[in-house]
Structure 1
Amino acid sequence: MSLLDRFSLGEGFRKYFQVEAAFSDTLRDAVYGIRHEVYCEELAFEPVRPDRRETDEYDRHSLHCLLRSSNDPSTLVGCNRLVLARPEDPDFPLPFEHTCRATLDRSIIDPARLPRHTIAEVSRLAVRAQYRRRKGETKTALALSDDDFGTKDQPRFPYIPIGLYLAVIALAKREGVETLFMLTEPRLADHFAKLGVRITQIGGPVEHRGIRVPSMMNATDVINRLRFFVKPIWRVVVEEIDAGYAALGRPAFLPPR
């Protein structure tokens, strides 16, 4: 990527990718298919399912993002989801609250004490193998490293992981969610700092498909602190997510029945 391209990341993203909120059954099935391909067939994190759809109990109260190729929209690239509190049982724990119950530092933040409609968890990030096949990436569903940003003389930008993260932040803002929790690789905070994004570790490491640490970020803070060269891609992502809401004629998410 040229230096000029780095300062027009919005057009660069639009040239190669498009992101959408997976509100319909058809789009959610596409998300579940990517997850099955990556989590079940390739990485064996989950058992293979006869219907080739990787789903769990959290999907019915989650929002999903789908990333596809702009050049060929039938080509799917990756996905992720935003797990919301259960509408009928807001106190039901988010996935990380189970996984990190022994390592979470509640002196930093205690999810159980926050208004449950204002918190959510980012999870099930998955990118198909042909879009992440690099040395050291064969055993992870999504990775971000220093190499993704290139060098001063040859800058690059990691459109795929950043696009997926920005999309889920856009969904969170549409839903009134401020605090986003996630299980991350220990160095993710360092990589995101390059973009102006502040991720805070909130507990000790756990073994969960590799070493992960519980972390959090504030949606408004992320948006306000984005570096100037990232803001164009943020605007494109928001535009594409908003289009999904507009197409349904509704201002907020209604869980699928």
Structure 2
Amino acid sequence: MQLFERHNLGHGFRKYFEIAPAITESQRNDVYRIRHEVYCEELHYEPERADRHEIDQYDPHSLHCLIRTSSAPKQLVGCTRLVLTDPGDPLAPLPFEHTCAATLDRSIVDPARLPRECIAEVSRLAVRGNYRRRSGEAKAPVTISENDFGSESRPRFPYIPIGLYLGSIALAARSGIDTVFVLTEPRLASHFSKLGVEIRQIGGPVEHRGIRVPSMMDVSTVIKNMRSLVRPIWRVVQEEIERGFEESAGGRSLTG
């Protein structure tokens, strides 16, 4: 992270992007349209739908957030969601519990034995094609690679995917979630370690739109151990998520 010593990542994020919780019907429709564009039309992970909204059974008990460009005209960039357990059926599995039922190492953690109201899963990260610049990103909804961090002479930072993950952590923290699960490509842990974020693999790989591994993050530990150079972008993301809830409670729309 030495290459970022002269850069305030919070200022950098705010210069190009803004993040907000998707609370209103209009905002959630923006989320569903981005997901349809990426998951259905571009990657064909899901069937295309006449209304161009990609929605599933987990969305009614999920929290969503959006990233868009900060300069006018504001453009939608990407989205993610935090799937909470179903309040009407708390024992109903989260998505990864279905996908990884045979590969989870329950000696590390057994999600079924945790307080269900205190766990959640990050899923449905999606970045629109115009913002997945490199050719290798065309076949994935969102990626983080070694090249995203640049070099000493040409520093770079993956604002969009990191912003989405931090947005999920902010949603989790304000919702009383202790443990966040995520199903990702195997190399994610090494990239997150650059940020001081500990993500622990909790089972063997599965085939799910490519090789994926189930992992977990402790929300309070992530926030506590975040590297000092990353804290400015975390503060920006956390402040914008909180402001979005406050403005929504006051009757103002975040999408204009």
CA offset digits 1:124-166 (Å, max 9, x no partner)? 0000011013131121000000000011222111100000000
Counterpart Cα distance in 2 of 1:183 and 1:198: 15
Change (3 A) 1:41 1:5: farther
Q: In structure 2, what is the equivalent of residue 43 of structure 1? A: 43
Counterpart Cα distance in 1 of 2:4 and 2:184: 31
- The answer on whether the counterparts of 2:85 and 2:119 sit within 8 Å (CA) in structure 1 is yes
Counterpart Cα distance in 2 of 1:73 and 1:221: 37
Counterpart Cα distance in 2 of 1:249 and 1:34: 25
TM-score when normalising by structure 1: 0.94
Q: In structure 2, what is the equivalent of residue 111 of structure 1? A: 111
The Cα shift of 1:59 comes to: 0.1
The Cα shift of 1:242 comes to: 0.3
**How many pairs does the alignment contain?**
249
Q: In structure 1, what is the equivalent of residue 186 of structure 2? A: 186
Q: In structure 1, what is the equivalent of residue 248 of structure 2? A: 248
The Cα shift of 1:219 comes to: 0.8
The Cα shift of 1:4 comes to: 6.8
Corresponding residue SS for 1:137: helix
Corresponding residue SS for 2:26: helix
1:203 aligns with 2:203: yes
Q: In structure 2, what is the equivalent of residue 143 of structure 1? A: 143
Corresponding residue SS for 1:136: helix
Counterpart Cα distance in 1 of 2:196 and 2:4: 20
Q: In structure 1, what is the equivalent of residue 102 of structure 2? A: 102
Q: In structure 2, what is the equivalent of residue 128 of structure 1? A: 128
CA offset digits 1:196-246 (Å, max 9, x no partner)? 001000000000000000000111111111111110000000110001221
Counterpart Cα distance in 2 of 1:197 and 1:78: 22
The Cα shift of 1:53 comes to: 0.2
Counterpart Cα distance in 2 of 1:216 and 1:151: 29
Q: Which amino acid aligns with 1:108?
A: I
The Cα shift of 1:74 comes to: 3.3
* Runs of at least 5 residues in structure 1 that lack an aligned partner in the other structure: 251-257
- The answer on whether the counterparts of 2:5 and 2:229 sit within 8 Å (CA) in structure 1 is no
Q: Which amino acid aligns with 2:48?
A: V
Counterpart Cα distance in 2 of 1:19 and 1:202: 30
Corresponding residue SS for 2:214: strand
Corresponding residue SS for 1:192: helix
Change (3 A) 1:227 1:73: farther
Task: Decide which moves more: 238-247 or 206-215.
Answer: 238-247
- Percent identity, aligned pairs only, is 65
Counterpart Cα distance in 1 of 2:186 and 2:177: 24
Cα RMSD (Å) of the superposition? Answer: 1.5
Corresponding residue SS for 1:92: coil
Corresponding residue SS for 1:19: strand
Q: In structure 1, what is the equivalent of residue 64 of structure 2? A: 64
* Runs of at least 5 residues in structure 2 that lack an aligned partner in the other structure: 251-256
The runs of 4+ residues in structure 1 deviating greater than 4 Å are 3-6
Change (3 A) 1:200 1:74: same
